[in-house]
Structure 1
Amino acid sequence: MKASLFKKIHTKVIHLTKATCTLEATGVGYEEMAIVDGKAAQVVKIAGKQVTLQVFEGTEGIRTDAEVVFLGTAPTLKVSEELGGRFFDAYGDPIDGKYAPAGKAVETGGPALNPVRRKQPFDMIKTGIAGIDLNNTLVAGQKIPFFADSDQPYNAVIALVALRANADRIILGGIGLSNDDYLYFRSLFANTDRPEKIIGFINTTESPAVERLLIPDMALAAAEYFAIEKNEKVLVLLTDMTLYCDALSIVSNRMDQIPSKDSMPGSLYSDLAKIYEKSLQLPSGGSITIISVTTISEGDITHAIPDNTGYITEGQLFLRRDTEIGKVIIDPFRSLSRLKQLVIGKKTREDHPQVMNAAIRLYADAANAKTKLENGFDLSDYDKRTLAFAKQYAQKLLAIDVNIDITRMLDISWGLFRKHFQPEELGIREKYIEAYWEKATEPEGEDDVLTDENVMLADTSFKQRNKIAPKWQ
């Protein structure tokens, strides 16, 4: 990023912190970019004639007589078809060793599209993951985060979602990625059938932390171009939004703002809403769907970041390691897609809502049976059957490495129902029982029905199993 010729040069900095500098200037706009002693900066506060800039690389080495040049525009991105298959940094400059793409320059971070021009979401996004498609169906134009502990393979999961989703364009916003994760995404996407449909905006751990604040706006500026002007279904992946919020906190604290809950800035809700509200569905068919990752500490959703995120987004997807099967699953109890009712049973088979509800109820009964087992109570025949069902349900449907279509998911569910239960135990409408019960076939695999002998084995080995953290498969 270079300063343009014939711009006024300011040379009197009146205040410096580790991340910001303040000077007197007029005719300057909020979020306008500037160059401070050769370092990129952005206007974050205007109070009369005093303008405060956040310097992305930090203010180390900057003197009070440093040259400051305002560029006259907010951050911009050149948008065109040439973005396809490319990777860029937080400023929109190429990091893949190729040429800088040409195109129309658009400002990033602008307002969301007027709701009058939008339409209620109506199209399902298929991922092939039953924990999503079957239980928490996603809809084009939705905004939803993954909540995951930092040691879980959340980047691998959203990569799977990206590769399986029926989207025209996938835009990755990598916020504070390790070099290994960046190279993983780049290698994975380069080897797809259509690498040109994937675009990446990347900030790594080696880049200044404050630059992370530019990544979501860059990704969404590209998304709006392809959704609004090209009428495409765009899937935006943002990982990790916790690191984005940490960068907000850094700037806020260094500007001596009074922190709010968990040392986050008081503007956290607005800062997050500005990003997530860019999701949309257009009448013409173009859409922007935002799937993000928010890492949490030991499942604590009361922290300010997941707490505010939950108020803005339309549900959440929880990752959890299932110690019974040794795999990561989409937790059916803590996950929710608030827009799934718009498509299940309409864009999917008619029995979808009933099958989904019955399966989760039986899975909950299995959780109750497991609690009884851990506390030394005898299990009924029904308890044993629910435990056997839950294990196979997790193996064949909830595990994130399962890749099947929604019709096959429903067929497998019916097969599990028929293997372990009687029709009257399901609570499913009779017309669906008549239509699908006799057609159901038992799923392939070992017989997991619990006997008295392996109930005792499960009881004695429970603590040992839960001390082991199995690797994701």
Structure 2
Amino acid sequence: MTFDLQPLVRHTRIQEIVGDVIRLRAKGVALGDMAEVENTDGESSLARVIGLERDVVSLQVFAGGKGLSTNATVKFLGRSLDVVYSPNILGRIFRGSGTPLDGGPDLTSDPHVKVGGPTVNPVMRVMPTKMIETRVPMIDLFNCLVESQKIPIFSVAGEPHGELLARIGFQADADVLVFGGLGLIFDDYHFFRTAFEEHGVFGRTVMFVNQASDPLVERLLVPDMALAVAEKFAVEENKRVLVLLTDMTAYADAMKEIGVAQERIPAVRGYMGDLYTQLAQRYEKACDFKGAGSVTILTVTTMPGDDVTHPVPDNTGYITEGQFYLHGGIIDPFGSLSRLKQHVIGKSTREDHSQVMNTMIRFYSEAVEAQRKQAMAFELSPFDHKLLKYGDLFRKRFLDIRVSMGVIEALDLCWQTLGECFEPNELLMKQHLIDKYFPNRPGQTERADESDEIEQEVAEPPPASEGSSP
């Protein structure tokens, strides 16, 4: 990150210091402008304008307000935040302030891009038609991740959402991976970095990381930096970019804390009234650009107390196009939803995808009911026993988030599973799909060959006798 350090205005009187927020009187300042705060001991820090009330300016100090004097000097830089953008940022890790975290070469001389611009003109958006294969069966089979989609992973503390997000990152079919970590503890940061390195995707990955011990304002900048870089890769280099952000609840909590420091009146559960707007401005960066690449956004949103009505997941659900509900260590097939899957299922995937998806979920729902009947000691029918067998195979082969297979391989395994548990006439599927994909059983091939011979004999006309007209 680079700034023009020639100050437009110099101020030496700070009226108030509340936490990391300082207030002073100034004119000619715009919301989002950057400033340099130099303390009386000579140490300086960047700050960002987060509030304007007539001539009273509120700034969020990156390094925090601890030890800051009211006699500190504030120099407004007359420009908004920007972040470095060039091919050199791939394989690099940056702080929430935009400075390198990995000890690599300085990139201040590289081109920069403005952070926090407007969302894309709808005229330049293309209807999503392509699937991003993640090799996670519960996503690829039942709730496809569609290129340019914005979708969260709803989870709670203790669930393996980090493992799932990292797995999608290094297995997804994408050109560039942009990772944004919000309030991560060091162990989580190390896990993501190691996962991307060990699976060979770090060379096409850029990471923006705000750790739990870093300044709060940097937590708010990470999504904007990640999305600004992702948009540049998509528009200027025609890349299919996948953006991973975790955790958006930490992002919302940071907004709430800053709102309290600004003495703003909170709305529901202490969150500010513009929570929906702030989240939507970030999520709406997802786009399939006409004549260029795409930006797909996948986030983690933790639900305090597993409460889906909490303001953060509740507002998120109105913005995004579905959710992956991580519950009990699995992606819940009943709570998850991808509203864009109909754009790709059976179109960019195999013809049997839709029928297989519906049949598998229908049988699993019935298997859950059969398990309840068994637990309550009700008498089970022969079909119930088939359902119980099917339920065990479904959980083992598909529900585990550690299972990795392509969508074609997964569809074939679905047919194999159905063939092991049910008869063809029990599937209630289109007959031509059953004839084409249902696995052969012992003797079925011979019977099929015999029927083909019979049909061929019937179809062939008898030879014409000599002298007879054709």
Please give the TM-score of this superposition, normalised by the length of structure 1: 0.89
Superposition pairs of residues 143-158 of structure 1, within 5 angstroms: 143-158=150-165
Higher deviation after alignment, 34-43 or 386-395: 34-43
Deviation at 1:393, TM superposition (A): 0.9
The one-letter code sitting in structure 2 at the alignment partner of 1:85 is G
Pair 1:306 & 2:313 matched: yes
Query: CA offsets, 1:231-262, max 9 Å, x none?
Result: 00000000111111110010011111111112
CA distance in 2, matches of 1:336, 1:200: 28
Query: CA offsets, 1:97-145, max 9 Å, x none?
Result: 1112243221101111111111011111001110000001111100011
> Is the contact made by 1:2 and 1:35 (CA closer than 8 Å) also made in structure 2?
no
1:65 to 61, 71, 75: 71
Long gaps (5+) in structure 1: 322-327, 442-473
Deviation at 1:2, TM superposition (A): 7.4
Higher deviation after alignment, 111-120 or 4-13: 4-13
Higher deviation after alignment, 96-105 or 114-123: 96-105
> Is the contact made by 1:75 and 1:91 (CA closer than 8 Å) also made in structure 2?
no
3-state SS of 1:410 partner: helix
Rg (Cα) greater in structure:
2
The one-letter code sitting in structure 2 at the alignment partner of 1:103 is D
Distance 1:440 1:5, change over 3 A: farther
Higher deviation after alignment, 421-430 or 17-26: 421-430
CA distance in 2, matches of 1:88, 1:248: 21
CA distance in 1, matches of 2:170, 2:407: 16
CA distance in 2, matches of 1:24, 1:439: 80
CA distance in 1, matches of 2:314, 2:152: 12
Quote the residue 2:234 is aligned against.
Answer: 227
CA distance in 1, matches of 2:136, 2:404: 6
Quote the residue 2:432 is aligned against.
Answer: 431
Higher deviation after alignment, 52-61 or 265-274: 52-61
Quote the residue 2:466 is aligned against.
Answer: none
> Is the contact made by 1:108 and 1:221 (CA closer than 8 Å) also made in structure 2?
yes
Superposition pairs of residues 77-96 of structure 1, within 5 angstroms: 77-96=83-102
CA distance in 2, matches of 1:332, 1:194: 29
> Is the contact made by 2:416 and 2:439 (CA closer than 8 Å) also made in structure 1?
no
Pair 1:284 & 2:291 matched: yes
Pair 1:173 & 2:180 matched: yes
Query: CA offsets, 1:336-389, max 9 Å, x none?
Result: 111110111011110100100111111111121222233332322222221221
CA distance in 2, matches of 1:391, 1:298: 29
> Is the contact made by 2:19 and 2:261 (CA closer than 8 Å) also made in structure 1?
yes
Query: CA offsets, 1:379-410, max 9 Å, x none?
Result: 22222221221121121122111111111111
> Is the contact made by 1:3 and 1:69 (CA closer than 8 Å) also made in structure 2?
no
3-state SS of 1:16 partner: strand
> Is the contact made by 2:7 and 2:77 (CA closer than 8 Å) also made in structure 1?
no
CA distance in 2, matches of 1:370, 1:436: 29
3-state SS of 2:79 partner: coil
3-state SS of 2:327 partner: strand
Quote the residue 2:225 is aligned against.
Answer: 218
The one-letter code sitting in structure 1 at the alignment partner of 2:205 is I
Aligned pairs, number:
435
The one-letter code sitting in structure 2 at the alignment partner of 1:149 is V
> Is the contact made by 1:344 and 1:352 (CA closer than 8 Å) also made in structure 2?
yes
> Is the contact made by 1:329 and 1:394 (CA closer than 8 Å) also made in structure 2?
no
3-state SS of 1:248 partner: helix
Long gaps (5+) in structure 2: 443-470
Superposition pairs of residues 157-196 of structure 1, within 5 angstroms: 157-196=164-203
Higher deviation after alignment, 285-294 or 416-425: 416-425
2:49 to 28, 43, 46: 43
Quote the residue 1:252 is aligned against.
Answer: 259
Higher deviation after alignment, 102-111 or 151-160: 102-111
Quote the residue 1:464 is aligned against.
Answer: none
3-state SS of 1:353 partner: helix
Pair 1:390 & 2:391 matched: yes
